[in-house]
Amino acid sequence: MARLASREKMGFYPTPMDTLRFISDFLRLPTKSGYGDRFNLLDPCCGEGDALHYLYGMLQIYNKYNVVYAYGVELDVERATAAAGKLNSVSQGSIFDARINPLGSAGLLYLNPPYDYTEGERDEMLFLKHSVKWLCPDGVLVFVVPEALFDDDGVRKWISEHFYDCLAVRVLKNDYPAFRQAILYARKRPERVDAPISFSGPPYVHIEDIEDADIPVYEIPETREITAFQCGSAITREDILKFQPELEARLDSLFRKKRLNSRLSPLFPLRKGHLVSLITAGALNGRIRDDSEDIIIKGYSDRVEYTRQEDEREITTHTYQVGIRVIDLKARKWYDVV
């Protein structure tokens, strides 16, 4: 996903503010929600945070007594820093490294991804397919993309299989010439269904401009608290591998204590999986401390689920993903290197 991450940084097209005002007109919190209900808004490509900050503010105006949280992920450091002053929580890094738990904890997914093409598929769809797991069942999607994306029957079919109440409209007439964008409103299905295409796109049907379209109100459902929200890019694999010489020295010492007359000499260089196992086993002291930092390193493994499409079938497999958890005691933060 390295190429996608670089594209994510370069393909930055913020939603025009005038269009954003119209987008917000069709989003609401439930009128019958109780005091203190929680609503999570997520923008996986938040830029400087302006779009989600505006939607957050408008939703708060209409429903002052509920708890609304705005979460953003942004690859570019400067833009992430700017967004941190506008949203409740911002994680700097790529969404393909993001760890957001539990899954399905966002009631609104606002996605204005990079506009490009990678390895046989539009980047916009790669970002949507990766981000959809964080949207709760019946959660609202606002997908801001080039209108031409909806020319593709395969794109519209995938969306129709995973979403319902789909409606595509153009951005404002004055904003349209710059990037020829359209906005898809939709709700996430509780599970994928083999559905026919449920919304029209060019060249078959002209998509209306947002100021002329008859758009229903999309209510954002209540969701659970987000318990983990961070990206793995703060500490890289290279940061962990710099401790390899110390690890090999300790292993060599262990071998000598067992009166083996040969120095440790792996057939191949130690890889991340080996380091995880050895760190977990205690072969390397998990605490690194100096004047600038105080961190603890711990190995872990998670059971993960992968879903893929093959010949109109959705196949789900399970495997184990190993990683290294880095706990920064001074900053009171933790990161995973997966």
Amino acid 24: pLDDT: 93
Amino acid 233: pLDDT: 47
Amino acid 302: pLDDT: 72
Amino acid 291: pLDDT: 63
Q: Say whether pTM exceeds 0.85.
A: no
Amino acid 219: pLDDT: 93
β-pairing, 294-310 with 287-289? antiparallel
Amino acid 170: pLDDT: 92
> Range with the lowest mean pLDDT among 45-49, 170-174, 188-192, 239-243?
239-243
Amino acid 137: pLDDT: 95
Q: Predicted confidence band at 34 (pLDDT cuts at 50, 70, 90)?
A: low
Amino acid 325: pLDDT: 76
Amino acid 157: pLDDT: 92
> Range with the lowest mean pLDDT among 53-67, 102-116, 282-296, 319-333?
282-296
Does 153 or 65 have the greater pLDDT score? 153
Q: Considering the domain 2-231 in this protein, what is its CATH number?
A: 3.40.50.150
Return the domain boundaries, the chain. Answer: 2-231, 237-337
CA dist., res. 183 & res. 147, Å (int): 8
Closest CA to 186 of 102, 101, 124, 110: 110
Does 117 or 260 have the greater pLDDT score? 117
* pLDDT per residue as tens digits for the range 147-185: 999 988 899 999 999 999 999 999 999 999 988 999 999
Amino acid 228: pLDDT: 87
Amino acid 139: pLDDT: 97
CA dist., res. 46 & res. 181, Å (int): 17
CA 151 to chain centroid, in Å, comes to: 25
Residues 230-248, mean pLDDT to the nearest whole number: 63
Mean pLDDT of the chain: 80
- Which stretches of the chain are assigned E, i.e. beta strand? 27-28, 38-43, 67-74, 89-92, 98-101, 106-111, 117-118, 121-122, 135-146, 163-170, 181-188, 218-219, 228-231, 287-289, 294-310, 313-328, 333-337
Q: Predicted confidence band at 202 (pLDDT cuts at 50, 70, 90)?
A: low
Q: Predicted confidence band at 265 (pLDDT cuts at 50, 70, 90)?
A: low
Query: CA 308, 309, 310 angle in degrees (round to 5)?
Result: 120
